[in-house]
């Protein structure tokens, strides 16, 4: 039994670190980059915009790693939770909140893939084309879509934290704190 508690404790630690990366990346994208996407995604950004470009590129890779860690550690934690009754067994308030959380996670993942593999390549293409042709980039609609999706992804990150907090409150603080694992 003690091994399971240590495994859960280690899983919780990695889950929290991955959550920090995922939510931090979502906040950076939605609150800092989205208002002016060109500072992070246009080729040859100015010196003042190079921080946004550098952070976005580095955190993008970390966000995918965090997503994988969240899935693995989340499944482990859920399977070890006494409130878990089985796949699609939504019979309690805790299970409803966890199901809502998983729905928000799934929607966030879809948004991130759409942002990274559809919207951002279009933006970069139009920025590069404008530079090549020496004209103003006509990317207003693409930037608006990026802003909306980045803010929506950040909203999903906040919702995921809300659902997690509520589900934790239902279970009770004593059974969900790391100190309880040592007792």
Q: Look up residue 116 and give its DSSP letter.
A: I
Query: b/e per residue, 111-123, with b = 16+ CB within 10 A?
Result: bbeebeeebbeeb
Q: Is the confidence at residue 150, as pLDDT, over 50?
A: yes
Bigger pLDDT: 170 vs 50: 170
Contact 149, 117 (CB under 8 A): no
Determine if the pTM surpasses 0.95.
no
Q: What whole-number percentage of the chain has pLDDT above 90?
A: 15
Residue 11 pLDDT grade (very low, low, confident, very high; cuts 50, 70, 90): confident
**pLDDT tens per residue, range 40-73:** 776 665 555 565 666 666 777 888 898 899 888 8
Q: Is the confidence at residue 117, as pLDDT, over 90?
A: no
| Residues 20, 153: Cα–Cα separation, whole Å | 15
Q: For residue 122, what are the CA distances in angstroms to 97, 112, 146?
A: 36, 15, 10
Helix (H) or strand (E) holding 106: helix 93-114
| Residues 114, 98: Cα–Cα separation, whole Å | 24
Bigger pLDDT: 18 vs 55: 18
Q: Mean pLDDT for the chain?
A: 78
- The confidence score (pLDDT) of residue 98 equals 81
């Amino acid at each position: 039994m003690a091994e399971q508690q240590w495994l859960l404790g280690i899983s919780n630690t990695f889950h929290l670190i991955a959550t920090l990366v995922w939510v931090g990346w979502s906040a950076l994208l939605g609150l800092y980059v989205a208002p002016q996407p060109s500072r992070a995604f246009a080729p040859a950004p100015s010196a003042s915009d190079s921080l946004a470009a550098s952070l976005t590129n580095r955190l993008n890779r970390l966000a995918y790693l965090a997503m994988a860690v969240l899935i693995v550690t989340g499944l482990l934690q859920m399977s070890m939770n006494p409130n878990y009754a089985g796949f699609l067994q939504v019979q309690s308030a805790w299970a409803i909140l966890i199901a809502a959380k998983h729905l928000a996670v799934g929607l966030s993942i879809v948004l991130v893939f759409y942002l990274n593999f559809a919207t951002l390549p279009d933006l970069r293409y139009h920025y590069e084309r404008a530079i090549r042709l020496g004209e103003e980039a006509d990317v207003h609609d693409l930037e608006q879509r990026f802003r909306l999706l980045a803010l929506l992804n950040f909203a999903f990150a906040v919702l995921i934290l809300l659902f997690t907090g509520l589900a934790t409150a239902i279970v009770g603080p004593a059974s969900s704190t790391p100190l309880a694992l040592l007792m």
